[in-house]
Copies of this chain bind each other. A is one copy, B any other.
Amino acid sequence: MIESQTIATIPLFQDLSREHMDLLAACARSQTYRTGDILWMRGETAGSFHIVLSGRVKIFRSSSEGKEQTVYLFGPGEPFCLCSGFDSRSVQPASAQALEPTKVLSLAWDCLSRTTVEHPQLLLKIIQILSRRLKEAMDMVDALSLREIPSRLALFLVHSCDQGNGTVTFQVSQREIAKIIGTTPETLSRVLKRLADEGIIATAERTVTVLDRKRLLQLAGEDHDLKM
């Protein structure tokens, strides 16, 4: 049972009328997952739209040899499985796994469709989210094809850096970060150490502090000081 108040906390739905929040709440369902639970595998049917209520979900691809590449990490309030795009016959383009105890809200596409008839601005919001995800996917293509591991790590740190204080708090284990960057945990660990030895960053348990922002940006190959 989902409350309308829960729907109201989701950024995507904040501008809806009370009536439509009630409608979405009535057809939404929620499910809890334990750390490591698989939500679905690539190729399964994707009839719904999902939003993380709490916890963290990773979207990943895996090879027949078991190697994994994380494509996205989603936290509270973030919608996912958007790319089945209102098509209830579509299949999951990637697998999903809970990285911590996670609660997910699911809405069938036809339920959301009824809401968008009266709230077409919801479609615009979905377009904006899809656009952002597409840009992130392009960044990942760029990183995997055109960058060596130190540059990929630097770019990851630049993008993950909390604005202002210059620290990066890893929300997930280094093993999971290696799967985002497209490397092994051993290489990630070695490159983090190298950057620390060079005085660019300082590392602690789950925190990286950026000491030399300029050199990190150079290593990331970014002309502009994007998010720091």
The winner among A82, A83, A145 for most chain B CB atoms within 10 A is A145
A164 interfacial by beta-carbon distance below 8 Å: no
Cα A26 to Cα B21 with chains together (Å) = 39
A63: chain B residues within 8 A (beta carbon): 146-147, 221
Q: Does A27 contact B (CB under 8 A)?
A: no
Chain B residues lying within 8 Å of A144, measured Cβ to Cβ, are 141, 144-145, 182
Contact flags (1/0) for A92-124 with B, using CB distance below 8 Å? Answer: 011000000000000000000000110010011
Number of interface residues of A (CB under 8 A): 46
Q: Check A93/B138 contact, CB under 8 A, given A144-B144, A146-B63.
A: yes
Taking CB atoms, residues of chain B closer than 8 Å to A117 are: 120
Q: Does A140 contact B (CB under 8 A)?
A: yes
Contact of A130 among B68, B85, B94, B120 (CB under 8 A): B85
Interface residue? A223 (CB, 8 A): yes
Question: Would A130 and B130 count as touching, CB distance under 8 A?
Answer: yes
Residues of A107-166 at the interface with B, using a CB-CB cut-off of 8 Å, are 116-117, 120, 123-124, 126-128, 130-135, 137-142, 144-147
Q: Which residues in B have their C-beta under 8 angstroms from that of A132?
A: 83, 85
Q: Mark A65-107, 1 if CB is under 8 A from B, else 0.
A: 0011101000000000011111100100110000000000000
A127 x B123 contact (CB < 8 A): yes
Q: Is the CB of A128 within 8 A of B71?
A: no
Taking the nearest CB of chain B, how far is it from the CB of A184, in angstroms? 12
A contact set with B: CB distance below 8 Å: 43, 61-64, 67-69, 71, 82-87, 90, 93-94, 116-117, 120, 123-124, 126-128, 130-135, 137-142, 144-147, 182, 221, 223-224
**Lowest 8 CB-CB distances: which A-B pairs, in order?**
A85-B131, A137-B137, A120-B120, A123-B123, A69-B145, A63-B146, A144-B144, A130-B130
Instruction: List 30 contacting pairs A-B, 8 Å CB cutoff, sorted by A.
Output: A43-B223, A61-B138, A61-B142, A61-B146, A67-B145, A67-B146, A68-B146, A71-B138, A85-B127, A85-B131, A87-B128, A87-B131, A90-B131, A93-B134, A93-B138, A116-B124, A117-B120, A120-B120, A123-B123, A123-B127, A127-B127, A130-B130, A130-B131, A134-B134, A137-B137, A137-B140, A140-B141, A141-B144, A144-B144, A144-B145
